[in-house]
Amino acid sequence: MASIALVPGSFDPVTLGHIDIIERAARHFDTLIVAVIRNPQKTASLFTLEERQELLGECLAHLPNIRIEFFKGLLVEFAKDHGASAIVKGLRAVSDFEYELQMAQMNQRLSGIDTFFVSTSPQYSFLSSSLVKEVARFGGDVSSMVPEVVQRRLGDRFSEDT
Ligand code: PNS
């Protein structure tokens, strides 16, 4: 049976840290679905769903076994609907661990679906979409943190605000 896994997240926007995890996870599953959440609990997103999908599509075009889809509600319901048997998450630091473990255990209890953690490459362990946005908003250099297309889009977005 083909193995299908989900990599869920907000991807607002996709960073080189996300891409690293997705590239490495894609080697282990027949299909990897990048599942972009529609209704994040967090603050309003900077990029629309369609923009996030477009940026992910451009940055992951080199990977043949990737699909990008949206989901809302419980991740495990989306996983079941799409025949996914695994969730993949990146772990950056110990600070990620407690919450990620709790979510993994909850998702396991709800559905039997296992979560596989991939250790973030050290050069990306400090990286998050939120920090990238903050740095870019104030004109900092994010060229080593996001793909060029994302860097350009951030520049455009924040120049609209000034
Ligand atoms: O990129 P993010 O914002 O850290 O991603 C968080 C995400 C989307 C992976 C997480 O919030 C999630 O799985 N939300 C779906 C709702 C759900 O299933 N909640 C129960 C988790 S135990």
Closest CA to 67 of 22, 103, 28, 107: 22
CATH homologous superfamily of domain 4-160? HUPs (3.40.50.620)
Which pLDDT belongs to residue 88? 98
Cα angle, residue 155 at apex, residues 139 and 12 outer, rounded to 5°: 100
Which of 3, 28, 38, 42 is catalytic? The answer is 42
Please say if 125 is a catalytic residue.
no
Tell me, in angstroms, the distance from the centre of ligand 1 to residue 103's CA: 8
Q: What is the pTM of this model?
A: 0.95
Strands (E), 22-84: 31-37, 66-71
| DSSP 8-state class, residue 29 | S
- Among residues of the chain, what percentage have pLDDT more than 90? 91
Q: How far apart are CA 87 and CA 22, in angstroms?
A: 12
The rounded mean pLDDT for the chain is: 95
Q: Is the pLDDT confidence value at 129 over 80?
A: yes
Ligand 1 pocket by Cβ (under 6 Å): 8-10, 37, 40, 74-75, 103, 106-107
Nearest-CA residue for ligand 1 atom 2 is 9
Q: How far apart are CA 138 and CA 141, in angstroms?
A: 9
Mean of the pLDDT values across residues 26-51?
90
Pocket test for ligand 1, best of 103, 105, 107 (most atoms within 8 A of CB): 103
Count the alpha carbons within 13 Å of 55 in the hemisphere toward its beta carbon: 26
Which pLDDT belongs to residue 42? 60
Which pLDDT belongs to residue 44? 86
